[in-house]
Amino acid sequence: MKRIKLFVLIFVVLMFAVSSVISTQRYTQVTDILTHSMKTVGWTASELELEMLKFMQALRRTALNDMSAEDLHLRFELLWSRVGVLSVGEETRDFRSQPGAIELLRNIKQRLVEIESEVLNLKMGNQNAIRIVQELKPLQTRVREFNVNSFSGDRAWAGLKYVHSLHNDANIFLLGLLLSGCILVLLLIRESAVNRKQALHDSLTGLANRHFFQRDLKKTITHAQRNNSRAAVHMIDMNGFKEVNDRLGHAVGDALLQEISSRLAQSVCSSDVVARLGGDEFGIIQKHITSSDECVRLAQHIHEQINCEINIHGYRVYPNVSIGISVFPDDAEHPDKLLNNADTAMYFSKKDADVCYRLFEQQMNDSVLRYRVLAESLQVALLHDQLQLVYQPIVCLKTKKIVLVEALLRWHHEQYGYISPPEVVSIAEKAGLAEKLNEWVLLKACSQNMLWRKACLPWIQVSVNISPAMYTRYDLVAIVSRTLSATGLPADQLVIEITEDTTMQDIESSPGILHKLRHLGVELALDDFGTGYSSLSHLKNMPFQKLKIDKVFIQELSNLPKDMSFIRTIINLAHGLGMKVVAEGIELIENYEDLYLEGCEYGQGYLFYKPVPSNEIEDILQENLSPIYFSSQDINT
Ligand code: C2E
Ligand code: MG
Ligand code: MG
């Protein structure tokens, strides 16, 4: 649209210039004609004067016997014919149009008529000829004056000068017009170049913008197709940029983006394109590559340039980027697909803390597709109550009686089959379904426990796992309290399991949330202990009643049966902090015995029970009136 406007403007200016040139040409023609006509008048007047002078000369020569009467008559005839020509005819119109010309001609004719008979009768040596000359003198003086005035006189020259100055003025005027036209066109071109730059560049960093990037990518692909060559797209996303912005302010954030942009621009070849595609997302089109090794080298170079300490406005910032790369034509042939694949690879690089870049692989798309399908299905499943809970009993190691059951999520997807609980939780968190999922599990587990109670089964606690996002982003206390009131389950019959890592995600708020939960009356269990990085001081501030040793440590005992020192330390630590210990994943009688001897209170594992549906728990609880007995074979069946 803008291009059309520019063309129209240039066209208008050109029309303006052309019409100015044409009109000035016309003007020049007019002045030329005018000058020509003045010259013609002047020339005609001088011809008349010359003819008169020749006639008067002939009269004098006749008086002096120097010219024959016939020659004198001829001169007289010539003068007559000159006057006749001047009086009529198209060519002498300019002469006649001069003021006083017609009257002058009339006077000459009258005088010639008066002297005609005398001249025709003059003979050689007749002194009357001199008298006639004297009589013609005043008329000749008038013709002279007329001639001088129209041709070489001041008035004529003033007129001519005026015409010339008009001519010069017109030329200056035309030059001015052309000059202003040129300036106008230059300004328009400059303005349009500025507009084009603004439309295709990012104002903060000066890099190309998404529009430019996409346009160039299309061109690059067409060129690569024609030349049978390769090109690559790098998607670069900053990690933790939001925190820099929130913590140090937008001015520092902007300066950081500018610094990253200039480092990116310096890292590539002059033919490559670097663009800012959005907030903290950048893109590079790497052209003319022969193999993906070159992409890897560029990604590593970018990583070295950016992942280091940068001083911004006196603050030390440690930027970190994740890079996804996809190569044309290996990974995709269409620009959009190439971009999507680079984006997917970048997403995978972000997920993996150990790598700074990832080359696109086809199975990445499968996993993205799997995520999309599952996220959609999970929403439907939550809406239509299609998820299930199984329950795994936890026994007291001393009495071997069930004291509580842990509710564990099960989801069978019609296309992908069994989806593990950690994957369900991660999909829910990414798809914004964390709150709904946790609320559903809580409600289901608490209602189930109430049903067992109503069926007059022995009273047992139910424990529910809470996902990280539920803990850090939503109001867990409100949901637990709502669930307890909705189901009527006594608060002390509910155990909330939170993993060590989850409590570490928000160290400042953790004690507050946990104390509020305790205030409701629910019990708290620290799940998967040993796999996270919590410190002793952190543990001391948190009101947990149970500590669950992660099953990897229990199962390691099978390999190193004698090495109980780590487990012993954990048990002592938990007891020191006033917590009871639950050992997860007990599969062997020996492990059970060792743990019992070390003072571990509770156990969970296939040795006792596997997770089972709620109706089977009813049977188990019926039998649980007496202690369970097991042997090593039980677990293998
Ligand atoms: P977790 O909370 O530590 O649960 C114990 C896991 O150990 C369960 O796996 C259970 O089946 C398994 N397990 C118990 N005893 C044994 C044993 O003797 N041997 C072996 N090999 N495994 C045993 P599951 O059900 O696959 O759950 C895995 C994890 O998924 C859970 O670990 C928990 O972190 C999470 N999860 C399960 N259900 C939910 C849920 O409803 N909400 C949330 N947020 N997380 C859940
Ligand atoms: Mg658990
Ligand atoms: Mg666990």
CA angle at residue 595 from 594 to 600, to 5 degrees?
150
pLDDT at 537 over 80: no
Distance 550 CA to ligand 2 centre (A): 9
Question: How would you write 192-210 as a 3-class SS string?
Answer: HHHHHHHHHECCCCCCECH
Asked if residue 587 has its Cβ within 6 Å of ligand 1, the reply is: yes
Q: What is the C-alpha separation between 545 and 525, in angstroms, rounded?
A: 6
CATH fold of the domain at 391-408+432-623: TIM Barrel (3.20.20)
Q: How much is the pLDDT for 570?
A: 92
Query: Which distant-in-sequence residues (6+ apart) come within 8 Å of 493 by Cβ?
Result: 449, 459, 460, 461, 462
Band of the pLDDT at 153, cuts 50, 70, 90?
low
Pairs from 53-60 (Cβ < 8 Å, separation ≥ 24): 53/140, 54/78, 54/79, 55/79, 55/136, 56/133, 56/136, 56/137, 56/140, 59/119, 59/122, 59/129, 59/130, 59/132, 59/133, 59/136, 60/129, 60/130, 60/133
pLDDT class for 355, splitting at 50, 70, 90?
confident
- CA 505 to chain centroid: 34
Atom of ligand 1 nearest to the CA of 470: 44
pLDDT of residue 625: 56
Fold matches, 2-170 and 210-360: no
- Which of 405, 410, 584, when mutated, tests ligand 1's pocket best, judged by the most ligand atoms within 8 Å of its CB? 584
Taking residues 418-425, report their average pLDDT: 96
Ligand 1 near 528 CB (within 6 A)? yes
Q: What's the rounded Cα separation, in Å, for the pair 350 and 44?
A: 101
Vertex 404: Cα angle to 399 and 410 (nearest 5): 135
Residue 216 pLDDT level (bands cut at 50, 70, 90):
very high
Is pLDDT of 222 > 60?
Answer: yes
CB of 421 sitting under 6 A from ligand 1: yes
Ligand nearest to the CA of 421: 1
Q: Give me the mean pLDDT over the 445-471 stretch.
A: 92
Q: Which of 391, 374, 491 is nearest to 427 (CA)?
A: 374
pLDDT of residue 499 exceeding 70 = yes
Q: Is 318 helix (H, G, I), strand (E, B) or coil?
A: coil
Q: What is the pLDDT of residue 154?
A: 62
When pLDDT is averaged across residues 83-109 and rounded to a whole number, the result is 84
By three-state DSSP, how is residue 161 classified? helix
The answer to whether the CB of 526 is under 6 A from ligand 1 is no
Centre of ligand 3 to C-alpha 583, Å, is 9
Whether the pLDDT of residue 302 is over 80: the answer is yes
Ligand 1: does its nearest atom lie under 6 Å from the Cβ of 601?
no
Q: How far is the CA of 604 from the centre of ligand 3 (A)?
A: 10
pLDDT digits (tens, 9 = 90+) for 565-621: 889 999 999 999 999 999 999 999 989 999 999 999 999 999 999 999 999 999 898
The protein residue whose alpha carbon is closest to atom 8 in ligand 1 is 408
Sign of the C-alpha dihedral computed for residues 141, 145, 151 and 152 taken in this order: positive
Region 217-244: mean pLDDT is 94
Q: Between 294 and 96, where is the model more confident?
A: 294
Q: Is 444 in the pocket of ligand 1 (CB under 6 A)?
A: no
Please give the distance, rounded to the nearest whole angstrom, from the Cα atom of residue 465 to the centre of ligand 2.
5
Predicted local distance difference test score (pLDDT) of residue 635: 42
Å from CA of 528 to ligand 3 middle: 4
Average pLDDT of the segment spanning 443-455: 95
Residue 467 CB less than 6 A away from ligand 1: yes
Amino acid at 240: G
The closest ligand to the CA of 605 turns out to be 1
Range 29-55 average pLDDT: 77
Closest residue by CA, ligand 1 atom 27: 421
Q: Worst-scoring range by mean pLDDT, 135-139, 526-530, 592-596, 622-626?
A: 622-626
**Token pair 């946990």 in the structure block, residue:** 514
* pTM score above 0.75: no
Amino acid at 392: Q
CB of residue 551 inside a 6 A radius of ligand 1: yes
Q: Which atom of ligand 1 is nearest to the CA of 587?
A: 18
State if residue 521 touches ligand 1 by the CB under 6 angstroms criterion: no
One DSSP character per residue, 426-476 reads HHHHHTT-HHHHHHHHHHHHHHHHHHHHHTTPPP-EEEEE--HHHHHHS-H
Measured distance CA(147)–CA(22) in Å, rounded: 35
Domain parsing of the chain, residue ranges: 2-170, 210-360, 391-408+432-623
Q: What is the mean pLDDT of the chain?
A: 88
CA 9 to chain centroid, in Å, comes to: 28
Higher pLDDT, 474 or 421: 421
Whether the CB of 591 sits within 6 Å of ligand 1: no
Give residue 229's identity as a one-letter amino acid code.
Answer: S
Q: Which amino acid is at 479?
A: I
Question: Does ligand 1 come within 6 angstroms of the Cβ of 341?
Answer: no
Ligand 3 centre to CA of 548 (Å) is 6
210-360 has which CATH code?
3.30.70.270
Residues in contact with 436: Cβ distance below 8 Å, sequence separation at least 6, in sequence order: 382, 428
Higher pLDDT, 155 or 592: 592
Residue nearest to atom 43 of ligand 1 (CA): 465
What residue's CA is closest to ligand 1, atom 11?
A: 611
Instruction: Tell me how long the chain is.
Output: 637
- Does the beta carbon of 463 sit less than 6 angstroms from any atom of ligand 1? no
Kindly state if the Cβ of 439 falls inside 6 Å of ligand 1: no
- % of the chain at pLDDT higher than 90: 52
Lowest mean pLDDT among 458-462, 494-498, 502-506: 502-506
Which amino acid does the sequence have at 309? E
Q: For residue 467, which ligand has an atom nearest its CA? A: 1
- State mean pLDDT over 349-364: 90
Question: How large is the average pLDDT for residues 510-539?
Answer: 88
CATH number at 2-170: 1.20.120
CA distance 388 to 381: 10
Residues 6+ away with beta carbon under 8 Å from 367: none
| pLDDT the model gives residue 596 | 94
Which of 378, 391, 408, 552 has most ligand 1 atoms within 8 Å of CB, for mutation? 408
Instruction: Average the pLDDT over 129-152 and give the result.
Output: 83
Structure confidence at residue 444 as a pLDDT band (50, 70, 90): very high
**CA-closest residue to ligand 1 atom 10:** 611
Q: Is the CB of 176 under 6 A from ligand 1?
A: no
* pLDDT in the model for residue 214: 96
CA dist 494 and 513 (Å) reads: 16
Q: Which ligand is nearest to the CA of 463?
A: 2
- What pLDDT score was predicted for residue 28? 72
For ligand 1, is residue 422 a contact (CB within 6 Å)? yes
Query: What is the per-residue pLDDT for 636?
Result: 41
What pLDDT was estimated at residue 633?
46
CA 133 – CA 59 distance, rounded (Å): 7
Distance from Cα 425 to the centre of ligand 3, integer Å: 14
Residue of 465, 592, 608 best suited for mutating to test ligand 1, as the one with most atoms within 8 Å of CB = 465
| C-beta of residue 248 within 8 angstroms of C-beta of residue 315 | yes
The mean pLDDT of 419-431, rounded to a whole number, is 95
Q: What is the pLDDT at residue 602?
A: 97
Q: How far is the CA of 592 from the centre of ligand 3 (A)?
A: 17
Atom number in ligand 1 closest to CA 389: 41
Q: Is the CB of 424 under 6 A from ligand 1?
A: no
* Residue tagged 């006792």 (tokens): 608
How many DSSP H helices and E strands does the chain contain? Answer: 24, 16
Give how far Cα 624 sits from Cα of 27, 449, 472, 587, 591, Å: 120, 16, 37, 19, 22
Measured over the CA atoms of residue 586, residue 591, residue 593 and residue 598, the dihedral's sign is negative
- Asked if residue 218 has pLDDT above 60, the reply is yes
